[in-house]
A and B are shown apart, each in its own frame.
Chain A
Amino acid sequence: MTFDEFAGARLPAVLRFATALTGDPDLAKDLVQEVLIRVNGRWQKIGQLDHPEAYVRKMVVNEYLSWRRRSWRLIPSGMSSHLAAPALPDPADGYVERQALLAELAKLSRRRRTALVLRYYEGFSDAEIAEVMGCSPSTVRGHVFRALAALRVELDEPLAAAAPSMEGQ
């Protein structure tokens, strides 16, 4: 697969993941752009991997976790006006609540948010998340446990061995 083929086919998915990760389409665009420029320069190696997209996704996560050159907004664009708007008794109440949940997601630390996105957006296992984030599975469970507690989420099933130890917090 050439870089052209990869970019043509997989870039939208990577952008979606980055948007879920950052909570902001503009930041996601910048994040992916930086990563993709590097990927393009190193495609001869990356293109030889079995799963180049997984590698690129990991690069996106690393960039997100280490990116300090911009001021990150705590609340994704447009969220504040949604929250401030008067609630109407209508069937779209769920939509309003979802905006509130997104706003709270944006307030999580980057590592907790990353763990949540990898688990609930990408559907990764703890081991897979640990591999992407460069930490242990127990640390991943700790991130997820704390994040879910902060969001007042009731688990479908108990989280196994949710270690309270935190890395990088």
Chain B
Amino acid sequence: MMPGPGRPPVRTETDIRNALAELGRRAPGADAVLNAVREADLHRGRRLPKVAAPARQPGQPRPPGLARALTSRLGWPQLAVGAAAAVTAMALALALTPGGSPTQTRGLDQLPAAGSLPSPPAGASSGGPLAVAPPGHHPSPASLAKAMLTAFNATADDLAYETTAGFKAGHLIQTDRTWSWPAVPSPGQVQYLRDAFSAIPRGAPQATASVKLTEDTGYTTVTPHPYGQKEPARFITVCYAGTGQTGCGFGRFNTPAGTWSEHTAVMPYLDATPSPRGADLARQIARGQWRIVGHTRLRGQRAIKLAETRSGIFAGHPVFLWVSTATYLPLRMIWVTGEFTEADNWYYLPPTKANLAHLRVPIPAGYPRSG
């Protein structure tokens, strides 16, 4: 958007694409639709399958791999429900978009060499503490939101690390670990993401089985300029054997289990920065979509605990948020729907060499390259 002085904003075709893509990610879950079709089909005695990648409802387990990351910058939580659909959309985009062909090389020289890790920037900071209210006192929603925005801006150069744990009936059924750097990328900047997804092996009893590393994906791309929609990107995927999955990946970039692959292509930009963004949470707090319910300590820090109000996006579902009063960054969110519970934890780490090493996807010994 390019608003001029006293004039309405001038929009671009990219704005339209981005807006529609965001809308598409709000797609409802496929299970409900299939259930309705199933009911209509009962007289024929047919049984329809579970959808391979159903869109995710609050509290339900998340889809594997990059699916979580692909829903980022969507103003969580109203868009989190489209997480799984993003995987399908990505596959479709790769299949339908000429720029998605892995044979194209336009702009690929913008990417760093394969296997290289970013160097720590000089003088990078993880952001200092902000004083809004003395410990033990509740800040106003407006001041809390302002502090969170300031803190969020200060994390731009940090390595964002997010962990997610999904529980069903109290049993851990999947986890996700995502590293993203920089936490708030600017146009033209190279973005690095790694997503390690673990789940109970397919077919194993959910009530007793343990989660197992299933898929480890690295994604490197260039943050688009306002006029850029397709950007060079590199995917490195390790698809672990023994998970009950026959393969991992997206679209034509399929990686059979027990192998790894690396693909480079010019493709539609995938926003893989952490979600929900601190800015979005701050906005929701300022609007009264969260209320402060008390102070507590979490991960060794004083924290404000908030609960979503009825005006919140998930009204009716218990959703809790913890915000550090040391950094005013979100620490944790827990959301519950029925028997499903999800706990998200966020960490903003200084971009040291050791921390950035987490962005590298390790290739297991003996795993052949399949693509």
Contacts and interface: CB of A to CB of B under 8 A. Distances in A.
B11 A88 contact: no
A89 B270 CA distance: 26
A116 B50 CA distance: 32
A105 B282 CA distance: 26
Given A15-B27, A19-B28, A98 B16 contact: no
Given A13-B85, A16-B88, A7 B37 contact: yes
B13 interface: yes
Interface in B246-288: 277, 279-280, 282-283, 286-287
Nearest to A95: B75
A29 B286 CA distance: 32
Interface in A62-82: 76, 78, 81
Contacts of B149: 88, 90-91
A123 B98 CA distance: 10
Contacts of B88: 10, 12-13, 16
Contacts of A153: 10-13, 15-16
A167 to B, nearest CB: 22
Contacts of A156: 12-14, 227
A137 interface: no
A124 B15 CA distance: 17
Interface in B112-162: 145-146, 149, 152-153
Nearest to B74: A95
B55 A15 contact: yes
B118 to A, nearest CB: 22
Contact of B13 (A5, A37, A76, A155): A155
A142 interface: no
B17 A17 contact: no
A135 interface: no
Nearest to A9: B52
Interface residues of B, number: 71
A91 B13 contact: no
* Most chain B beta carbons < 10 A, residue from A37, A98, A122, A148: A98
Interface in B54-82: 54-55, 73, 75, 78, 81-82
Given A12-B54, A91-B149, A151 B85 contact: no
Contacts of B22: 98, 102
A148 B1 CA distance: 14
A71 to B, nearest CB: 19
A160 interface: no
Nearest to A87: B283
Which residue of B19, B46, B96 has the most chain A CB atoms within 10 A of its CB atom?
B19
Residue from B13, B20, B21 having most chain A Cβ neighbours under 10 A:
B20
A169 B225 CA distance: 36
Contacts, number: 176
B230 to A, nearest CB: 10
Contact of A95 (B10, B47, B84, B280): B280
B9 A152 contact: yes
B40 interface: yes
Interface residues of A, number: 55
Contacts of A154: 10-12
B24 A17 contact: yes
B250 to A, nearest CB: 12
A90 B28 contact: no
Contacts of A3: 48
Interface string A125-158: 0000000000000000000000010011111100
A122 B96 contact: yes
A19 B52 contact: no
A88 B282 CA distance: 10
A32 interface: yes
B359 to A, nearest CB: 23
Contact of A23 (B23, B91, B93): B23
A150 B227 CA distance: 20
A117 interface: yes
Q: Closest 6 CB pairs between A and B?
A: A16-B24, A92-B279, A15-B27, A121-B20, A19-B27, A16-B27
21 contacts: A4-B47, A4-B48, A7-B37, A7-B51, A8-B51, A11-B33, A12-B27, A12-B53, A12-B88, A15-B85, A25-B81, A28-B28, A40-B37, A85-B283, A90-B282, A95-B75, A95-B279, A97-B1, A153-B11, A153-B12, A154-B10
Given A13-B85, A92-B283, 19 more contacts: A4-B48, A12-B55, A13-B92, A15-B28, A16-B24, A19-B24, A19-B27, A33-B33, A33-B36, A88-B286, A91-B153, A91-B279, A102-B19, A102-B23, A105-B16, A105-B23, A152-B8, A154-B12, A156-B14
